[in-house]
Structure 1
Amino acid sequence: MGTPSGRKPLTLHRLREMHARGEKLTMLTCYDSTFARVLDEAGVDCLLVGDSLGMVLQGASSTVPVTLEQMAYHTRCVAQGSRTAWVIGDLPFGSYQESREQALRSATALMQAGAQMVKLEGGGWTTATVRFLSERGIPVCGHLGLTPQSVHALGGWRIQGRDERAAATLREHALALAEAGAAMLVLELVPTALAAAITRELSIPVIGIGAGPDCSGQVLVLHDMLGLASAQPPRFVRNFMEGSGSIAEAVRRYVGAVKDASFPDPALHCY
């Protein structure tokens, strides 16, 4: 069934079709029903219920304190406000690292709350978990590069994959996740050339955040692109509220800029 905006609900099949014909995919983080409705009506393809809510909504210094119960609550709120967008829920820290069975229980909780896909961070050891979930009918999005749940192990918010060895590992992990059944991949804070190479090599959509313009699509934290960040935003962020008369207009401008590939600008937002 269609919607008042005329856009049919997005499915994984339709997202794959969009990717296959070269259409850029748009994604924003979202944490509640009201913003879900605004973003959905503005044409955002994917709503990511990110564990970034720990920093954006709760004021924590990282995403680590966020619980599965909190993620299920916010996923339910977003799912109730969205009519056509594809809803992705983050598996929070500690909810999938113990075992594949733990990951399945956690993913089930988010899917029952309204997520249509779950996202988990890291490569290497996560490959078996991705395969386990995918074989059981749960769409999975991987996340490589700067993985916020591991920020302490990574030494802070630093660009990943700069040297040859690190770049080779990232490419290896990306290919392994795709082969294991990941239906989408987020690349965060990696050099443009590396992100472009990974995007070319994979048949699945690669969504960039601080990963250059050659990815299959883009994602930003909603509050960052609305100019609401409490600190200096990262280089890859553009404030779409500047020159906009409303939040809805700012989101439409973001969608348009990603679709026509004018964002991110290689001279301003890339590494």
Structure 2
Amino acid sequence: METRKKVTISTLKNKKNKGEKAVFITAYDFPAATFANKAGVDMILVGDSGAMCLLGYQTTNEVSMDEMIMMTNAVIRGNKHAFVVGDMPFLSYQISNEIAVSNAGRFIKSGCDAIKLEGGVRMVERVRAITDSGIAVMGHIGLTPQNMAQMGGYKIQGKDIASFNALVEDAKALEKAGAFSILLEGVTNEVAEIVKNSVSIPCYGIGAGVKLDGQLIIMHDILGTFVGEIRPKFIKVFDNIGDKITEAISQYATEVRNATFPAEEHFYPISDEALSMIKKTLG
């Protein structure tokens, strides 16, 4: 078997230059990271979406830095080759440059290769401060879940001239501030391509069409294991593992109640001699 090399920023830039798509997926724990590596993904995002997918919160804004670091540590233990990006949670970077750098550093100390934060022009100062500290930054523009209240809900971006101009301005500002890549979320296919072409750094998409340098998807969405009401249009369920899990647990419950599990093949053996001696002690 060919030994895979660790994916780096140089790897990702080379893929863009060659026109090769990067495969980007979320993971929040050791098994997920292990499976993603076996599948040969290029990048893993320890996303704040773990708030909803793994921890059961109603929004991404409820997850803490400590919880993000807990998930990150688990992913790093399972990772071998993928480029790992830590997702900066709400209020972990917005308050000040000092807080932003400190929290970004926690992800790097945990083993991440880079961090991601939401916002374009308005976050330039934070991006520059973090990159100046020696930490790689992925920008995130378009539909930014941490700002849902300001955006008036889950609204697709790039559908009018004002939204388009803002996206291009954000992308250029992030590149100038030192971001090594950009994630576009919830952007129209055609506009996402124009935004990508307005900068030289890799641009990845989640719900932003097919023209970008790679795709991010939430693992729970493609496996059908997300327990919640949100079902974005861009999601494709590749295998409904959720139903299979429910069926397996239901079968287990039935066999326990019928006393057909555990069966004899699941018992640990004991010799007749030892069992006889034990029974003699019972009088």
Tell me, yes or no, whether TM beats 0.5.
yes
The verdict on how the C-alpha distance between 1:70 and 1:232 changes in structure 2, with shifts beyond 3 A counting, is closer
Structure 1 residue 126 and structure 2 residue 123: aligned? yes
Match of 2:254 in 1: none
Match of 1:178 in 2: 175
Q: TM-score, normalised by structure 2?
A: 0.82
Query: What is the count of residue pairs matched by the alignment?
Result: 242
The residue type paired with residue 11 of structure 1 is: T
Match of 1:235 in 2: 233
**Matches of 2:96 and 2:188 in 1, distance apart?**
32
Q: TM-score, normalised by structure 1?
A: 0.86
Where in structure 1 are there 5+ consecutive unaligned residues? 247-271
Name the structure, 1 or 2, with higher relative contact order (CA <8 Å, separation 6+). Answer: 1
Match of 1:225 in 2: 222
Match of 1:252 in 2: none
Q: Does the 8 Å contact 1:122/1:143 carry over to 2? A: yes
Deviations 1:103-154 (A, max 9, x none): 0000011111111100000112211111111122100000001101111221
User: What is the root-mean-square deviation of aligned Cα atoms in Å?
Assistant: 1.7
Equivalences for residues 147-158 of structure 1 within 5 A: 147-158=144-155
The verdict on how the C-alpha distance between 1:88 and 1:5 changes in structure 2, with shifts beyond 3 A counting, is farther
Match of 1:251 in 2: none
**Matches of 1:161 and 1:101 in 2, distance apart?**
33
Computing the radius of gyration over CA atoms, which structure comes out larger, 1 or 2?
A: 2
Question: Percent identity over the alignment?
Answer: 39
The residue type paired with residue 75 of structure 1 is: T
Match of 2:249 in 1: none
**Matches of 1:241 and 1:180 in 2, distance apart?**
40
Match of 1:139 in 2: 136
**Matches of 1:114 and 1:233 in 2, distance apart?**
31
The residue type paired with residue 237 of structure 1 is: I
CA displacement at 1:232 relative to structure 2: 5.5
**Matches of 1:147 and 1:223 in 2, distance apart?**
19
CA displacement at 1:242 relative to structure 2: 5.9
Query: Which one of the candidate residues 63, 67, 72 is aligned to 1:70?
Result: 67
Q: Does the 8 Å contact 1:72/1:110 carry over to 2? A: yes
Deviations 1:185-238 (A, max 9, x none): 110001111100011121111111110000100001110011123336211011
The verdict on how the C-alpha distance between 1:232 and 1:51 changes in structure 2, with shifts beyond 3 A counting, is closer
CA displacement at 1:50 relative to structure 2: 0.1
Deviations 1:163-205 (A, max 9, x none): 1011101110111101111001110001111100011121111
Q: Which moved more, 1:154-163 or 1:99-108?
A: 154-163
Deviations 1:37-67 (A, max 9, x none): 1101111100000000111112222101111
Q: Does the 8 Å contact 2:225/2:240 carry over to 1? A: no
Structure 1 residue 55 and structure 2 residue 52: aligned? yes
Match of 1:201 in 2: 198
Structure 1 residue 189 and structure 2 residue 186: aligned? yes
Deviations 1:63-98 (A, max 9, x none): 011111111111111011000000000010010011
The verdict on how the C-alpha distance between 1:5 and 1:232 changes in structure 2, with shifts beyond 3 A counting, is farther
Aligned partner of residue 76 in structure 2, secondary structure: helix
CA displacement at 1:161 relative to structure 2: 2.5
Structure 1 residue 87 and structure 2 residue 84: aligned? yes
**Matches of 2:190 and 2:58 in 1, distance apart?**
30
Higher helix proportion: 2
**Matches of 1:163 and 1:200 in 2, distance apart?**
18
Match of 2:271 in 1: none
